[in-house]
Structure 1
Amino acid sequence: MKLFTKRRQTVPEPSPEELAQQLAYRTEQVHFYLHALRVFGYFIKEFSFDLLEIGADRFQKQIDQLITSLTAEKPVRSLKRVLEQGKARILEYVQQEKAYFQEREAEFKHIIELLTTGIASLTEENKVFHARLYQRSSQLEKITYLNDIRKIKEELRQEIMEIKRCIRQKQSQDAQRMEALSRQMESLKIDFEQAKKASLTDGLTGVYNRAAFDQYMAKLVEQSSISRRSFTLILLDIDDFKRINDTYGHRVGDRVLIALVQQCRAFIRKDDFMARYGGEEFAIILPDTSLRTALRKARKICKTIAATRYTVDELAEEIQKLSFTVSMGVGIWRDGDTVASLIDRTDKALYQAKRAGKNRVVSERELPS
């Protein structure tokens, strides 16, 4: 019999409840890390400048592809390879961005030096010019005090007046030149702003166009996935718009579109976003708005439009009134939504409103599951 034999301590196996708790904890950790990965991907894109010269758009797409690959169910070895490739691409882009700004900095320094030298030279030349003229005029003016040369005195006075007139003329020309340059710069600034606005605005109604809507939606969905702040989307379509065009003509149809936008603007906030989605269909995005609030606002718009009567032609002998209605679908962003999934649900709600008789608002929650 062995007196000092060590007993082997057996570790008790975890119970099913403990295993379930551990699994839930690990699952929660995985979801958190995946969310953190998407957050960092978003911030990397936000920190990169929109510089087409160094392929910023391509870099942002590569970041999206990197996040998609890293969040996919793949073997660890494959994920490590994807990560290394992603790190190399990010570092490469950072170096490109640094080099780009260093080159631009050098260019701006050179331009500033040229401008500074030119302005200093011009200022000095003007000073010298004015000083010489005034010095000359002073000397000439002293001669006019000689009473024995009256004829020369008169001529000298006229010469002095002419010199001073030239000085005033040059000063006036300089001022006009600077004012014209200032106006030209302001005009270029206005032209740039107008061109930028025109590229994102619907020419007829004045609201944003489809391109602006796509950009805003993509950015808002990405921001919401990070901040968890929800927003609602309203899609509205004019009922029987083809009949309006066929009956009254496209000119009246255009006026109907403009009138619709004016009615909607009376109900939306400054931070809300309205765009012409296509044809007679419009989209309204309401940031930080619940589905209930959006539905209430949509119903007010729908009711107001249906109750309004418009004069077709005020100059016609017989006054003819026109009214129209809209159908609306309302959806709300949910965690995990993409742009396509949110638009798809909202569009189905709009279609349901059309099928149910038009002139009504349907929420995504009313859709059959």
Structure 2
Amino acid sequence: MVSESEIKKSKEIGEKAWKRLMDESLGPTPESYSLFYHYYAGTDYAVNQAVDKAMKKDGGLSEKQCAELYRDFIQDTAATEFMLQAEETILSIMQEVSGIVGEAESATGEYGKSLAQSNKELGDVKSIEDLKKVVTAMASDTKKMREKNSNLEIELATTSQRMESLRVEVETAKEEAKTDGLTKLINRKAFDATLKDHIKKSVDDNTAISLLMLDIDYFKKFNDTYGHQVGDQVLKLVARTLVEGIKGKDIAARYGGEEFSVILPETNLTGAVMVGNALRKAIANKELVNKNTGDTLGHVTISVGAAEALRNEKIESLVERADKALYAAKGKGRDQVCAAPKSEE
């Protein structure tokens, strides 16, 4: 049962979220309201960090940005609903298999009793006619058992096919839940989990690991000038160039909005800066063409922050240091790479 204090707290959070929507002149969409409700609830550090960062960068949030942040950090509905459906289907299949096994056990038991009875009757045979009756009964029971087994095999084969089909669907749903729909890179949630795993591995193996945070320069101006379709085209171009430019174990992710990240296992700070510069130059050399009109729109540049993980450093700290280095690159004129200090001095 929900307590009065919990109800009061929820109401206060809801009122703060609603006021924020009004202050920001945002439409009260479910995505925007949910985003700010989570923000004021303060239960997810990543949500608050992303909102604060977007506010600092652009001076406010648009409904489109709210929807993107909601999708990147909160929404997991489609995947969750599918998993629930999958669980129900698995339960149904398990019940079917249980029924098939029970039927097989029952049929086997009946066949065993029939054979035992036939064996007993064999001891009482006194004529060829008696023997013929017993053998005929045994043949009939055996035929029924074969038919029953054949039907059971068909049912089990069908069930097996359903399980394989479901397995493929579940794996596909899992991949979709980890992938950014626009750029096809891993999304923020997958990035968090992947970075955590790689940092643990770097500690276990005593190897370096670095992180790049990348942001498209003047993206908002680009979006406002040419429209969101061209903006999406820019995001795809950057994502594709990142994938083409990284190697081996390196992993590119869409961190949120126009910000990307690259995890660099077994790479120190010097190597990270080199990778960052290579990616920056590769993107700057790409010429952007409006697919709708064929017009040349010039070149896109990015700013990059690089940080190498410190001993026993928390993930949040590594991301924050790389992010600060990114903003340092922005402050120095953009289209460059800045490295975070190796210590907190």
Q: TM-score, normalised by structure 2?
A: 0.54
Please state if 1:194 is matched with 2:194. Answer: no
Q: Does 1:342 align with 2:318?
A: yes
Which residue number in structure 1 is paired with residue 331 of structure 2?
A: 355
State the match for 2:304 in structure 1. 328
| Cα-to-partner distance string for 1:30-87 (whole Å, 9 max, x where unaligned) | xxxxxxxxxxxxxxxxxxxxxxxxxxxxxxxxxxxxxxxxxxxxxxxxxxxxxxxxxx
Structure-1 residue corresponding to 2:197: 219
Q: In 2, Cα distance between the equivalents of 1:203 and 1:328?
A: 23
Matches within 5 A, 1:108-127: 115-119=100-104
State the partner residue of 1:203.
181
Q: Which position in structure 2 is the counterpart of 1:254?
A: 232
What are the equivalent positions in structure 2 for 1:56-95 lying under 5 Å apart?
none
Q: Which runs of 5+ in 2 are unaligned?
A: 1-93, 111-149
Per-residue deviation, 1:245: 0.9
C-alpha deviation, 1:309, in angstroms:
0.5
Offset of residue 367 of structure 1: 10
Q: Which has the larger radius of gyration?
A: 1
Alignment correspondent of 1:185: 163
Q: Aligned partners of 1:276, 1:122: CA distance in 2, in Å?
A: 58
Which of 267, 280, 286 is matched with 1:308 structurally? 286
Q: Distance in 2 between matches of 1:119 and 1:253?
A: 62
Deviation per CA, 1:317-366, whole angstroms, max 9, x where unpaired?
Answer: x6333421100011101213111221122111111110111111111249
8 Å contact 1:221–1:337 — kept in the other structure?
Answer: no
Could you tell me whether the CA contact under 8 Å between 2:287 and 2:296 is conserved in 1? Answer: no
Deviations 1:186-208 (A, max 9, x none): 22112211221222221111111
Relative to structure 1, the CA distance from residue 192 to residue 293 in structure 2 (aligned partners, 3 Å threshold; closer, same or farther) is: same
Contact 1:349 1:367 in 2 (8 A): no
Aligned equivalent of 2:262: 284
Show structure 1 runs of 5+ residues with no match.
Answer: 1-108, 126-170
For 1:358 and 1:256, locate their aligned partners in 2 and report how far apart those are by CA, in whole Å: 17
8 Å CA contact 1:221, 1:338 repeated in 2: no
* Aligned positions, number: 216
CA gap of 1:240–1:279, structure 2 versus 1, over 3 A, is: same
Q: Is the 8 A contact 1:276 1:282 kept in 2?
A: yes
State the structure with bigger RCO (CA 8 A, min sep 6), 1 or 2: 2
Report if the CA contact (8 A) 1:332-1:342 is conserved. yes
Q: Given that residues 238 and 324 in structure 1 are in contact (C-alpha distance below 8 angstroms), is that contact kept between their aligned partners in structure 2? A: yes
Partner of 2:210: 232
- When the two chains are superposed, the root-mean-square deviation of aligned CA atoms in Å is 3.6
Alpha-carbon spacing, 1:110–1:280, altered in 2? closer, same or farther (3 Å): closer
Counterpart-to-counterpart distance in 2, 1:366 and 1:232: 11
Q: SS of the counterpart of 1:233?
A: strand
Shift of 1:224: 3.4
AA at the equivalent of 2:252 = M
Q: Cα deviations across residues 108-132 of structure 1 (Å, max 9, x unaligned)?
A: x99987654545777999xxxxxxx
CA–CA separation in structure 1 for the residues paired with 2:304 and 2:283: 12
- Preserved contact between residue 312 and residue 322 of structure 1 (Cα < 8 Å): no
Contact residue 313 and residue 320 of structure 1 kept, 8 A: no
Counterpart residue type for residue 364 of structure 1: A
User: Alpha carbons of 1:113 and 1:304: their partners in 2 closer, same or farther (altered >3 Å)?
Assistant: closer
Kindly, what percent of the aligned residue pairs are identical? 35
CA gap of 1:284–1:174, structure 2 versus 1, over 3 A, is: same
Q: Secondary structure of 1:251's match? A: helix
Give SS of 1:348's match: helix
Distance 1:357 1:123 in 2: 81
Q: Matches of 1:122 and 1:247 in 2, distance apart?
A: 75
Local SS of the residue matching 1:205: coil
CA distance in 2: counterparts of 1:110 and 1:301, whole angstroms: 54
The whole-number CA distance in structure 1 between the counterparts of 2:230 and 2:156 is 48
CA contact (8 A) 1:302 1:359 kept: yes
